[in-house]
């Protein structure tokens, strides 16, 4: 045995930078895969378009907003938020496919932490979902909202935060779901109620108690409401409109400011990721 | 470089793994010891369900042992998991490539996960693709590859980060003989060029001939461990297989008249003798039964397996093992 023992090529410059790099490559894989799937990108856009321009126009004639505001203007931020729901949640759940086709193993045996894998998956899913919603966002002018750069940046921020939450939720689910057959029905069972109970398609004002409670328990509500605030603040609303379209959300009688709602979304996301990492660790 | 005393590439002591508890307790690995010198190709043989995969998974830090210890590339598989992971390459029984990505993208992903510097990564990716003759297909999506090409790519990927130990779990399962031979050619080539330690599990006895040393595992235990040559000469016998009109009678007469114990294996009367060529003429003169055919085989690893476990490797694989073969093929 003449040759010397070689040290591995692996250059570990501080554990954190290695973990961050791992997160980035897992994230980049999501982007690469999505980029190859143009059909998926387009089909995902169909549903929000139907909601805004078909359902919004159809119902617009019978819905009384309490002023001159177009129902579609009300609908737009809600549909924008739900448009990321599908893409983001499915990105998270795709971990089930990674497991089925073996690739998860390649990631799991690498010298990186499970949290790095999960964060990479979440960031990738969030970027993909947000990127896709930009196409929809470009149509904001068609419902009478000005293209204000500040507004657009704020909306993208909200969408990203929401996407991150939903991807994390999908990842958490996929640490439990073991088969592809189960993944689809379970995710549908989660996504549809989340969409309808978020106030995305109708105002949460004047709801019966049971419905109001479910809405408040739904994290997506706290993505929809801030976005709707941002959009409707662009217009001059009458008091009646404000009351109907922008109802105040209360927790035990306390009116929750929009900023706190967004912080709640962030906190829930962190909790979901932590939980997913833990479940992941215990199930080998 | 002076030839200093080196720590073994793999050393294992009293390693066990059990699943379940109480009455349901299954001991998959029942306290094994082994030591693999650096630079060796080490074969881990046994039928499906013998505990090979569980053992390799413990060595690769995928499963924690129930008790006992294992050191790989100088580090403890439980306490220093990431140190072990940086120094080992893995090729699993199941496919673990991203089919939608190209060969190059799969390798790049691996290099990044293992923290290789840019320049090193580019150079290594070129080298390993070249080694498995896939350089011209690097831009193709993996889903367009044949089973053999995917396997080659996985071996290449396992080598990207220049591991000290390469683990291969049934690397040739479900592949046609030609591709199996090609895979072994790559592994031999690898050994000639580097000093890598290769740890390979297989249930194809003929493949064990490629190894420097082999261990035979059965029912969670290592029944014997040595070089293939030493094992074959330890069996020290030729094997004679007979097709006859009356197997029972033949076995009885062999015992009475020649003092040789024989048994039925795969539909033939099978006996082990020191010198086959000298026994065959006596069979015809002394047995007095109709012998349709005689086959004399010099010792093979199949015989070694039979000598130490009491059955051939095919006997010990029930019908469920076919399912395992198909599962591995998927």
B124 with B204, same domain: the answer is: yes
Note whether B98 and B121 are same-domain residues. Answer: yes
Phi-psi map region of B323: left, alpha, beta (phi>0 left; psi -120 to 50 alpha): alpha
Q: Residue B74 falls within a domain, yes or no?
A: yes
- Is A11 a member of any domain? no
Domain range enclosing B197:
10-227
**CB-closest option in B3, B81, B113 to A25:** B113
Does residue A13 sit within a domain? no
Which helix (H) or strand (E) covers residue B15, if one does?
A: strand B10-19
CA-closest candidate to residue A141, choices A70, A43, A197: A70
Rounded average pLDDT over B265-282: 83
- Same domain, residue pair B259 and B181: no
- Residue B223 shares a structural domain with residue B112: yes
Greater confidence, B171 or A127?
A127
Min Cα–Cα distance to chain B from A19, Å: 8
Show residues of chain A in contact with B38, CB under 8 Å: 1, 5
Nearest CA in chain B to A102: B96
| Residue B308 placed within a domain | no
CB contact under 8 A, A109 and B6: no
- The pLDDT of residue B2 is 46
- Does A11 contact B at CB distance below 8 Å? yes
Minimal Cα–Cα distance from A98 to chain B, Å? 8
Give me the residues paired with residue B89 across strands: B166
CB-based contact, B203 to chain A, within 8 Å: no
Largest CA distance in chain A: 87
Considering the domain architecture, whether residues B45 and B135 belong to the same structural domain is answered as yes
A102–B95 CB contact, under 8 Å: yes
Considering CB atoms only, which of B3, B97, B112 is closest to A103? B97
B53 chain-A contacts, CB cut-off 8 A: none
For chain B, give the number of residues: 330
Q: Is the pLDDT of residue A9 over 70?
A: no
- Residue B63: inside a domain: yes
Domain assignment present for residue B318? The answer is no
pLDDT tens digits for A254-279?
A: 989 999 999 999 999 999 999 999 98
Which of B66, B75, B88, B96 would you mutate first to test chain A, the one with the most A CBs within 10 A?
B96
Q: What are B15's strand-pairing partners?
A: B32
Residue B202 has pLDDT above 90, yes or no: no
B126 at A interface, C-beta within 8 A: no
A253: contact with B, CB 8 A cutoff: no
Q: Coil, helix or strand for A62?
A: coil
- Does residue B171 sit within a domain? yes
B80 with B212, same domain? yes
pLDDT computed for residue A14 by the predictor: 58
* Of B262, B217, B214, B256, nearest in space to B242 by CA: B262
User: Which residues of B fall within a CB distance of 8 Å from A111?
Assistant: 81-83, 85-86, 113-115
Between A40 and A123, the more confident residue is: A123
A2 located within any domain: no
In this predicted structure, the answer to whether residue A12 has a pLDDT above a threshold of 70 is no
Domain boundary among B206, B227, B248: B227
Instruction: Tell whether B143 is within 8 A of chain A (Cβ).
Output: no
Q: Which of B113, B128, B162 to mutate to test the interface with A (most CBs of A within 10 A)?
A: B113
Contacts of B300 (CB under 8 A, 6+ apart): B205, B232, B239
Is residue B19 domain-shared with residue B117, that is, in the same domain? Answer: yes
Looking at beta carbons, which residues of chain A come within 8 Å of B110?
106, 110
Q: Which of A19-23, A191-195, B123-127, B244-248 shows the lowest per-residue confidence on average (mean pLDDT)?
A: B244-248
Domain boundary among B227, B245, B278: B227
Q: What is the pLDDT of residues A124-169, one digit of tens each?
A: 999 999 999 999 999 999 998 999 999 999 999 999 999 999 999 9
pLDDT score of B329? 39
How many domains, chain A?
1
Question: Is residue A178 scored above 90 in pLDDT?
Answer: no
ipTM over 0.90: no
Q: Does residue A168 sit within a domain?
A: yes
Stretch A102-129: mean pLDDT: 93
Question: Has residue B294 been placed in a domain?
Answer: yes
How do beta strands B291-297 and B268-273 pair? unpaired
- B91-136: per-residue pLDDT in tens? 988 889 999 999 999 999 999 999 999 899 999 999 999 989 999 9
User: Judging by beta carbons within 10 Å of its beta carbon (0-12, 13-18, 19+), is residue A283 exposed, middle or buried?
Assistant: exposed
Using the Cβ of B104 and the Cβ atoms of chain A, whether some distance falls under 8 Å is answered with no
B155 has pLDDT over 50: yes
Domain containing residue B259: CATH number: 3.30.70.260
Structural domain includes residue A1: no
What are the distances in angstroms from CA B29 to CA A110, B172, B212, B214, B220?
Answer: 25, 23, 23, 17, 4
Whether residues B131 and B169 fall in one domain? yes
Interface of A with B in 112-151 (CB under 8 A): 112
Residue whose C-alpha is closest to residue B72's, from B62, B87, B53: B87
**Domain with A134 in it:** 18-282
Nearest C-alpha neighbor of B252 from the set B299, B244, B236, B311: B244
Residues B244 and B220 in one domain: no
In this structure, is residue B265 part of a structural domain? Answer: yes
Q: How many domains does chain B have?
A: 2
Residue B145 belongs to domain with CATH number: 3.40.50.300
* Residue B5 is assigned to a structural domain of this protein: no
Q: Which of B39, B94, B164 sits opposite A1 (nearest CB)?
A: B39
């Amino acid at each position: 045995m003449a040759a010397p023992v070689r040290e591995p090529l692996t250059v570990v410059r501080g554990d954190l930078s290695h973990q961050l790099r791992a997160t980035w490559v897992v994230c980049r894989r999501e982007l690469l895969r999505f980029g190859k799937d143009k059909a998926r990108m387009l089909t995902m856009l169909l549903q929000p378009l139907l909601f805004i321009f078909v359902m919004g126009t159809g119902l617009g004639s019978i819905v009384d907003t309490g002023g001159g505001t177009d129902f579609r203007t009300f609908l737009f931020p809600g549909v924008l938020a739900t448009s990321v729901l599908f893409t983001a949640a499915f990105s998270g759940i795709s971990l089930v496919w990674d497991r089925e086709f073996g690739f998860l193993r390649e990631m799991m045996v690498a010298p990186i932490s499970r949290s790095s894998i999960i964060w990479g998956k979440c960031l990738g899913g969030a970027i993909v979902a947000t990127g896709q919603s930009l196409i929809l966002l470009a149509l904001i002018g068609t419902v009478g909202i000005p293209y204000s750069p500040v507004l657009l940046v704020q909306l993208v921020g909200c969408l990203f935060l929401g996407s991150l939450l939903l991807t994390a939720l999908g990842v958490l689910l996929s640490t439990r779901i073991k088969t592809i057959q189960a993944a689809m029905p379970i995710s549908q069972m989660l996504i549809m109620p989340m969409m309808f109970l978020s106030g995305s398609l109708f105002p949460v004002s004047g709801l019966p108690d049971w419905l109001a409670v479910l809405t408040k328990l739904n994290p997506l509500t706290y993505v929809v409401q801030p976005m709707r605030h941002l959009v409707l603040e662009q217009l001059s609303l009458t008091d009646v409109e404000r009351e109907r379209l922008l109802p105040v959300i209360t927790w035990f009688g306390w009116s929750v400011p929009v900023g706190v709602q967004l912080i709640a979304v962030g906190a829930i996301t962190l909790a979901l990721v932590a939980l997913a990492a833990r479940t992941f660790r215990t199930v080998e | 470089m002076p030839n200093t005393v080196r720590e073994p590439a793999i050393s294992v002591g009293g390693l066990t793994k059990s699943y379940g508890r109480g009455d349901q307790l299954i001991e998959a690995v029942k306290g094994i010891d082994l030591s693999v010198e650096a630079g060796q190709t080490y074969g881990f043989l046994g039928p499906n369900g013998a505990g090979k995969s569980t053992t390799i998974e413990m060595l690769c830090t995928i499963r924690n042992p129930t008790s006992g210890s294992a050191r790989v590339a100088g580090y403890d598989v439980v306490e220093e998991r990431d140190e072990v992971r940086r120094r080992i390459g893995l090729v699993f029984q199941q496919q673990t490539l991203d089919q939608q990505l190209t060969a190059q993208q799969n390798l790049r992903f691996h290099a990044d996960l293992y923290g290789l510097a840019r320049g090193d990564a580019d150079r290594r990716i070129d080298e390993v693709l070249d080694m498995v003759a896939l350089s011209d297909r690097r831009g193709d999506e993996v889903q367009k590859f044949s089973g053999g090409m995917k396997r080659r790519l996985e071996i290449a990927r396992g080598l990207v980060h220049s591991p000290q130990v390469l683990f291969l779990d049934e690397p040739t399962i479900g592949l046609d003989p030609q591709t199996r031979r090609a895979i072994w050619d790559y592994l031999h080539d690898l050994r000639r060029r580097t000093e890598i330690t290769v740890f390979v599990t297989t249930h194809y006895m003929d493949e064990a001939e490629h190894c420097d040393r082999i261990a035979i595992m059965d029912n969670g235990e290592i029944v014997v461990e040595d070089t293939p040559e030493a094992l074959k000469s330890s069996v020290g016998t030729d094997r004679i297989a007979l097709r006859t009109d009356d197997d029972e009678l033949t076995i009885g007469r062999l015992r009475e008249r020649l003092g040789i114990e024989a048994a039925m294996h795969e539909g033939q009367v099978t006996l082990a003798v020191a010198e086959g060529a000298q026994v065959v003429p006596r069979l015809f003169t002394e047995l007095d039964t109709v012998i349709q055919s005689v086959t004399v085989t010099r010792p093979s690893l199949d015989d070694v397996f039979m000598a130490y476990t009491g059955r051939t490797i095919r006997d010990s694989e029930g019908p469920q093992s076919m399912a395992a073969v198909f599962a591995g093929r998927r």
